[in-house]
Structure 1
C-alpha cells in the first residue's frame, strides 16, 4: 500500500470512538513518520493542527498524543511546527481539563528531549507551566502554613503517619496525572540543560522541595527523581568544573529546607518514599561532605541535621517498619553518611546505631547481614578517632574501647559461621580486619589468637582465600606490630602455593602481602621459608606481566633488606631473570623503579661474590659482547641501574664517570681493537646515558673539561643514537652548574646552526629535569624570556 493511501486510511480512524483503535492508529502514524517523504509528513501534521483548532477536549487529547508520538519517532522533522503547537497548547492549558493538561505537558517533555534547540525559545514558559502544575491539586488542602512552620520531630517512637496525614481517596480525581507529567517534564529539562543549572536552583528547586509532601506515592517518587536528577547534574558539574564552589554554596543554602521537608518523609510508612529520601540524601552528602553535620558548627544544634536524619534511619532499620529492600537501602545510605562526615559528629548516636546494626548483622537474609557488616566496617573506622580526644584535648581512648567487645563479638559470630553465604563471609573477614587495624594494639591475646586461627582456615579455603589475603594486607600494614601467631609461619607455605596459581589477582595480592610481612614482621621469616618463597618467584620475573614482575622485585627487595635472605638462590636464579628483564623494550616506569631498588638492595647487603664491581660487570655484559643486538630502551634501563647503584657511594660514582669518559673517547679500551663499529657505538651510547643519569644527582664539575671534550667528540659521531645520547648527557650534567651551562647551550643554539637540534635537545632535557620539582624550575626564571623567544623562533623553522 502506498503512503498516500495509508495516510488517508489512518487519519479518519483517530476519531473512532474506541480508545484501542485510536492508540493503534497513533502508533501507525508515528512509525510511518520515520520513513515517509516530506509531503506526506507535512500533510499529516497540518491535518492534526487544523483539527486541533476546532475540536473538543477529548479529541484534542488524541491529536496532541498523536503529535507527541510523531515527534518521539521522527525527532526534528517537526521543528517547523513547534511554535504553532506551543501556542495551541497554551490555549488548551486554560481549559483546566486534567488529562488534556497532562497531554500538553508530555508533548513539552518530548520537545525538550528531541528538539532541544528549537524549543529553547519557549523553555522558560514551559518551566513556569510545570512549576504551576506540579503543585496542582484542587481537591486537597496541604495546610501550607502548618507544614512550613512545623517543628521537626526527632522521636521516632512517638510518630504516627496517620495522625499527620489525612487519608484521601477519589477515583474521579485525575489531577495526579498532571503533577506526574509536570515532574517528568522538569526532570527531562534538568537532564538536558546542564548550562541552566543555576537558574534551576532558583526557579525549580524550591517548588520541588515543597512538593516532597505529595500525597500520591507514584507522583511523589517522580518528584523525588526530579530533584535527584538535579543533584546528579550538580555532582557532574562540581566534579568537572573549576567554578564548583558557587554551586556548592547554592546547594548548601537549600539544605535546611531539604531536611525540613524530608523529616516527615523519612518516617512515612511508604517504603518507596523512604527509599527515595535515602537516594536523595546519598547524592546530597556526596556533593557536600559534612552537609548534615559540620564539626565547625558542632555547638549549633540547629545546624546539626543528624538529629533529624538518624531517627529516620533507625526507623527504617526497625524490622517492624521495613521490608528487606528498605533495610538494605538504609544501610547503604548509612555507609555513605559515615564516609562523607567527620567522625566526631556521630558520637551521640553510637549506642543507638550499634544496637540496630547488630540486629541487621544477625538477620537471616544474607544481603542484609552482608550490608550491615560493610556498614560496621566503616563505623569501626570512625569510632576510635571520634572518641580519642576528650574535652581537655587529651588522648583518651577509653570511650572507644567500651564498644570493642560488642563490635568484636558480632563480627566473630559471622566469621566463624560456616553455613552463611559467601558475601557474608567476605564482609565478616573485611570487618574483622578493620577491627584489628583499629583496636589491635589493645585487643587481648585470646581475641587475636582465635581470630588469626580462623583467618588461617579461611586462607586454605578456595572461595575466601583472596578476601583473606586482602584482609591480611590491611592487618600487616597496621602501624603497631601485632602477634600474628598462630597464623605465621604456617601461612607462608600456603602463600608460596598461591604464587603458582593461574589466577592473576591472587598472585598480585599475595606478593603485596609478602612484601608487607617482610618489612614489618620479618621475625617470622626463617631461612627455609625465604628459600621456599624465592623459588616460587623465579618464574614471576618476566616481561609477560610487568606488574607482577614489579611486585615480585619489591617483595625480594624487602626480603633482602630484612637481612634474612643471604641465599645462593638470589644470585643463581633471581639475578639472571632480572638481567634478562632489564633488556626488555617494555621495561620502564614503576617496574624499572622496582628493579633499581632491587639492585640497590643487593649492593647494600654485600652479597658474597656479588659486590658492586661484579654487578656492574653482569649488567654491562650484553653491551660488551660482539653481535649482541639490544633494543634502544635496554641501554636506558641498564644505564639507570648502573647509575642507581653507583650513586650509593660518591667514590663509586666519581670513579665510574671517569672510566665512562675514557670509554666515550676510546671504546676499544673495553672491547679491544678488533671491535666492530656497532660495538663501539653500543659502548659510547651506554656510557653517555649512564653519565647523564649520574649527572642528574651528582655535581660533575670537577670533570667538566674532559667530559665536555668527550661530548663534543660524540657530537661528531656518524651514529645518530650517539649524538642524541650526547645531547641528553649535556642537558643532564648541566644541572651541576646550571648558570654557566645553560648560557653555553643557549649561545650554541644561536651560533652553531649545524648542531642546533642537538643543543635544543639538551635544553629540553634541562627543562625536563627541573620540571619534576617546582622549587628547581624557579632556576629557569632569569632565562625564561630568552628561552621562550628562542623556541618561538625555531618553531617557525622549515625543518621538522
Structure 2
C-alpha cells in the first residue's frame, strides 16, 4: 500500500523541495528519509525528480547550516538504500555541490559531506553483486573527489569526526579507484600508516587498511606492510575490545590477500601476541595457510593455548568453529607435534565434562583432515571404550569422539563399532549410556544406510533400551537433510506409531518429538496423516499425536506454518477429549503455538477460549484422599491440567491480548487467586500484567480482586509447620504484594474504598509494610524480576 503512494508523495514533495521555506524543506527531507528507510529502493524511479531539490538545498546561498546537514543526511540514506546505477547518469550534477560541502568551514557539514562522498565513490565503481560490466566511466570525477578528500586527510587541526571520515572516505577511494591514483597512491598509504600510529585515529585506520587490503584491485601495500604488521601486533596487547577485533580482522585480510609480500620476520610481532588471545584462531589459521614458514612458531607457542581453549567448558559457536578450522589447517600443512592432540583428547579425567563435545568435534576435524590416520584413531577409541581399566569419563569421551568421527561418514557400517555401542548402551553408568546413545545417533547421521536400519531394528527388539535408542533416532531426524531422510520416512513413521502408546510418559514424549520433527520432512503429506491418527487409537496415542504437533511449531518462520494454520483447529478440538491427560497435552501444545506462532491460533480464540476457561475450574470429582500410614493426604488429579490452562492464559496476555474479552478473562484470574500455590503465583503475575495493559478493566473488578490478595498477604503459617511451608507462604506473600504494588500504580485506584483500606492496612502493619518496601525495589510500580518470567 505504501509503495502505491510513493509517486503521489514524490509529486507533492517535488514542488515543496524548491520552496524558500526552510521548515517545509526540512519536513520534506524528514519524510523522504523515513520513506527510504521503510521501503528501500522505492524511490529509484523518482531520483531524477528529487535531485534538483537536493542540489538546491546544498547550493542555495540563503540555506542554513541545519538545512544543508539535513539534505546531506537524506542524500546519504538515499545512496545507501538504492542501487548505484540509479545515480551514475547524474554524477555531473551531484558531485560538485557535495565537494563544495566537504570544503565548508563548518565541521558538521564537512563531516556529513564526507559520508556522502564515500557513497558516491561506491557509485562510480561498484563492487560485488551490484557491479555491472562496462558502462559508467569514473575517470572525469576521480581527481575532484581525491583532491578535496586529501586536503582534509592531511589536516591535523580539524575535528575528530572529520579526521575519521576523511580517512574512511580516502580508504574507499583507494579500494574502489586506486588504479586511477598513480604515483600519489604510495603517499596516501604512508598517511594511513601515520594515522595507524596515532592513538586518536588508529581504530579508523585499522578498518580502512582492512578495506584496502581486501580490494579486488589488489593494491600494492608492500611499502607499508612490515611496519603496519608491527604496529598491528602491538594493538593485540591493548585492552580496547573494538580495537582488538578490528586488528584481528585486518591481520586476517592482510595475510589472506598479501601473503606473497609478507616476510616471515614481519609476522613475528603478531604471532608472539596471538597465544594470549581467545579470539585469535581465525587469524592464526590464515597465517598457517598463507605463511607456512611461521609453523614452527605456532607449534611451540600457540598449540598449548589451543588445547587449553579446547578443554574450556565455555568453548562454543564461532570460537569452536575457528578452532576446528585452525586444527585442520595445521594438519594439512604437514607440521609435526600433532600426536599430542589425540592423546589429550581421549584422556577424560583431565577435561571438564562440559567440554567433551568440543573435544570430540576436534578429534573428528583432525580425522577428516587425515583420512589415512582415521582407522588407527577409531581402533584406539574402540579400545578405550572396551578396556576394563578405562575410567567412566574416558569411556564417555571416547564414545562421543566415535560419534563425531562417524558423523563425517568415516566409519562405514563397522560391525565392531555397532557391537561396542550396544554394549555401552547396556552399561550400568548413566553417563556412558547417554554418550553411547548420542554417538549412535551421530554415526547414523553420517552413514544413514548403514546405521538407520540397525537402529530401527534395535528400537523394535529391545524395549529396555528403547528410550536411549529413541534419543539416537531423534538426533538422526533433527540433523539429516530432508532429501537424505525421505527414503526412510515410511519405516520410521511405522516404528514410531508402534510405540506411541507406551506406558512410560518420557518415552511417549520422545516418540512425539521424533514424529513432530519427522513431519517437517514432508509436511504436506505427513500432517494430514498425523491428523487422521486422532480418530483412531487410545487416549495415550492421541496425547502422543497432539504432543507431536507441538514439535512442528518451530520458533522461526517455516513452510509448515500455512499447512498448520489450516489444520491446527482439528488438533485443538482435543480440548474436549474425555481423557484429562489428552486435554493437558493439548493445552501445552496450544501454549507453544500462542508463544511461538500466535498467528496460528488468533482466528480460533472465539471457539477455543470457552474450553480453555473450563479447564481452569476446580473439579471436586478429581480430588481424592490417600492414606499414608497414620496420615491422610489430599491428591488433586486436576491440578496439572489447571496449571496448563493458566499458563496458556498468561501467554495469551502477551501474544493475543486483542482477541480476549478482558472482563471474562478476569473472572477466571479471580478464581485462580484462591487456588493452589502454583496457580496463585501465576495469577499474581497475570494481575500485575493486566494492571499495566488494561487498567480500566482491572479497576472495574478491583473490589473483587482485593479480597484474595488481602487473604494471601495476611495469612500466617501454623506454628510447628515445616521450613518449606514457611518459605512457600513467604514467596506467596511477596508475589501477592508485587501484584498489589502494580495495582496501586494504576491511575485513579485511590477511588476504590477497599483498595484505600488495604493500602492503609499495609502502611500500618510493620510486617506487610516491610514486604511492600522490599518488592518496591523493581521497576514498574514495584514489580520484581518474577514479573518478566517466561511461562511458555
After TM superposition, the score normalised by the length of structure 2 is 0.61
From 314, 322, 344, give the equivalent of 2:85.
344
| Post-superposition offset of 1:267 | 1.1
Kept in 2: contact 1:344–1:387 (CA 8 A): no
- Which of the residues 711, 718, 726 maps onto 2:421? 711
Work out which of the residue numbers 559, 565, 568 in structure 1 matches 2:287: 559
Assess, with a 3 A threshold, how the Cα gap between structure 1 residues 797 and 313 changes in structure 2: closer, same or farther.
same
**Which residue number corresponds to residue 376 of structure 2?**
655
- Aligned-pair distance for 1:509? 0.8
- 1:500 is paired with a residue whose SS is coil
What's 1:381 paired with?
Answer: 122
Contact conserved, 2:378 with 2:402, CA < 8 A, in 1?
A: yes
The residue number in structure 1 matching 2:258 is 521
Given that residues 76 and 116 in structure 2 are in contact (C-alpha distance below 8 angstroms), is that contact kept between their aligned partners in structure 1?
yes
The 3-state SS of whatever aligns with 2:19 is coil
Q: Distance in 2 between matches of 1:591 and 1:267?
A: 55
Q: Is residue 43 of structure 2 the alignment partner of residue 315 of structure 1?
A: no
In 2, the alpha carbon distance for the partners of 1:512 and 1:493 equals 15
Aligned: 1:405 with 2:143: yes
Shift of 1:737: 4.5
SS in 2 for 1:470: helix
Q: Which residue of 2 is the match for residue 71 of structure 1? A: none
Which residue in the other structure is 2:404 paired with?
693
Which residue in the other structure is 2:463 paired with? 753
Q: Give the Cα separation in 2 of the matches to 1:795 and 1:433.
A: 69
Contact 1:388 1:396 in 2 (8 A): no
State the distance in 1 between where 2:128 and 2:302 align.
49
Shift of 1:794: 5.7
Count of aligned positions: 508
How far does residue 590 in structure 1 lie from its aligned partner after superposition?
A: 1.1
Deviations 1:625-653 (A, max 9, x none): xxx44322222222211111111132212
2:109 aligned with 1:395: no
Q: Is 1:499–2:236 an aligned residue pair?
A: yes
**How much has 1:419 moved relative to structure 2?**
1.3
Deviations 1:718-738 (A, max 9, x none): 221111111111112223552
- 1:463-488 CA-partner distances (Å, limit 9, x unpaired): 10001101111111212421114321
* Alpha-carbon shift at residue 618 of structure 1 (Å): 4.3
Shift of 1:769: 2.2
- More displaced, 568-577 or 380-389? 380-389
Query: Does the CA-based 8 Å contact 2:18-2:56 persist in structure 1?
Result: yes
Among 69, 72, 76, the alignment partner of 1:331 is 72
What is aligned with 2:318? Answer: 590
Contact kept? 1:389, 1:396, Cα under 8 Å: no
Q: Distance in 1 between matches of 2:162 and 2:233?
A: 27
Map of 1:577 onto structure 2: 305
Aligned to 2:473: 763
**CA–CA distance in structure 2, aligned partners of residues 456 and 775 of structure 1:** 53
Give the superposed CA RMSD.
2.6
The answer (yes or no) to whether the contact 1:347–1:387 under 8 Å persists in 2 is no
1:387 & 1:349 partners in 2: Cα distance?
Answer: 22
Residue 427 of structure 1 is aligned with which of 157, 165, 174? Answer: 165
Find the residue that maps to 2:505 and give its secondary structure: coil
Is structure 2 residue 223 aligned with structure 1 residue 486? yes
Decide which of 629, 645, 648 is 2:366's aligned counterpart.
645
Deviation at 1:667, TM superposition (A): 5.2
Match of 1:469 among 175, 183, 206: 206
Q: Structure 1's 326 and 778: CA in aligned 2 closer, same or farther, altered over 3 A?
A: farther
Residues 730 and 574 of structure 1: is their aligned pair in 2 closer, same or farther, counting only changes over 3 Å?
A: same
Question: Residue by residue, what CA displacement relative to the aligned partner does 1:129-178 show, whole Å, maximum 9, x if unpaired?
Answer: xxxxxxxxxxxxxxxxxxxxxxxxxxxxxxxxxxxxxxxxxxxxxxxxxx
Gaps of 5+ in 1: 1-249, 294-303, 541-548, 669-678
Whether the 8 Å CA contact 2:59–2:97 is kept in 1: the answer is: yes
Residues 525 and 564 in structure 1, CA contact (< 8 A), matched pair in contact too: no
Among candidates 249, 259, 262, match of residue 512 of structure 1? 249
**Within-5 A mapping of 1:433-472:** 433-440=171-178, 442-472=179-209
CA distance, structure 2, for counterparts of residue 720 and residue 457 of structure 1: 62
**Hey, what does 1:733 align to over in structure 2?**
443
Deviation at 1:606, TM superposition (A): 2.1
CA distance in 2, matches of 1:500, 1:389: 39
- State the match for 2:99 in structure 1: 358
CA distance in 2, matches of 1:313, 1:414: 24
Q: 1:394 to 1:453 in 2, by over 3 A?
A: closer
| Aligned partners of 1:387 and 1:396 also within 8 Å | no
Deviations 1:557-611 (A, max 9, x none): 111111344454322221111111111110111111111111112212222x42x
- Which structure 2 residue ranges, 5 or more long, are not aligned? 510-792
Partner of 2:391: helix, strand, or coil? helix
Whole-angstrom CA distance in 1 between matches of 2:109 and 2:504: 67
Counterparts in 2 of 1:779 and 1:421: CA distance versus 1, 3 Å: farther
Cα gap change, 1:453 to 1:386, in 2 (>3 Å): closer
8 Å contact kept, 2:84–2:130: no
1:345 and 1:322 mapped to 2: Cα distance?
A: 27
Deviation at residue 443 of structure 1 after TM alignment? 2.9
Partner of 2:720: none
Q: 1:631 aligns with which of 341, 344, 352?
A: 352
Counterpart check, 1:786 vs 2:508: no
- TM-score after normalising by structure 1: 0.60
Residue equivalent to 1:599? 327
Residue matched to 1:283: 34
Shift of 1:774: 5.0
Give me the whole-angstrom Cα distance separating, in 2, the residues matched to 1:388 and 1:760.
46
Query: Could you tell me how far apart the structure 2 residues matched to 1:317 and 1:742 are?
Result: 70
Q: Matches of 2:388 and 2:422 in 1, distance apart? A: 16
Q: Distance in 2 between matches of 1:338 and 1:571?
A: 48
Contact 1:411 1:431 (8 Å CA) reproduced: yes
Query: C-alpha separation between the residues in 2 aligned to 1:613 and 1:537?
Result: 22
Query: 2:23 maps to what in 1?
Result: 272
Alpha-carbon spacing, 1:790–1:525, altered in 2? closer, same or farther (3 Å): farther
**Equivalent residues in 2 for 1:233-252 (5 A)?**
250-252=1-3
User: How far apart, in 1, do the equivalents of 2:160 and 2:394 lie?
Assistant: 59
The 1:779/1:469 distance shift into structure 2, 3 A limit, reads: farther
Deviation sequence 1:321-377 (CA, Å, 0-9, x none):
311111110001101111222222222311111010001100111111000010111
- The structure number with the bigger radius of gyration is 1
Distance 2:95 2:307 in 1: 56
Structure 1 residues 601 and 736, CA, compared in 2 at 3 Å: closer, same or farther?
closer
Instruction: State the shift of 1:433 in Å.
Output: 1.1
Secondary structure in 2 aligned to 1:651?
helix
Instruction: Using the TM superposition, give the Cα deviation of residue 382 of structure 1 relative to its aligned residue in structure 2, in angstroms.
Output: 1.6
Q: Is the 8 A contact 2:193 2:224 kept in 1?
A: yes
Q: Is the contact between residue 414 and residue 424 of structure 1 (CA under 8 Å) also seen in structure 2?
A: yes
- Measured after TM superposition, the shift of residue 793 of structure 1 is 4.6
Provide the C-alpha distance between the structure 1 equivalents of 2:100 and 2:289, rounded to a whole number of angstroms.
48
The CA distance in 2 between the partners of 1:400 and 1:788, in whole Å, is 66
Give the match's secondary structure for 2:224.
coil
2: distance between equivalents of 1:415 and 1:792? 72
* Cα distance in structure 1, aligned partners of 2:28 and 2:387: 79
Deviation sequence 1:43-87 (CA, Å, 0-9, x none): xxxxxxxxxxxxxxxxxxxxxxxxxxxxxxxxxxxxxxxxxxxxx
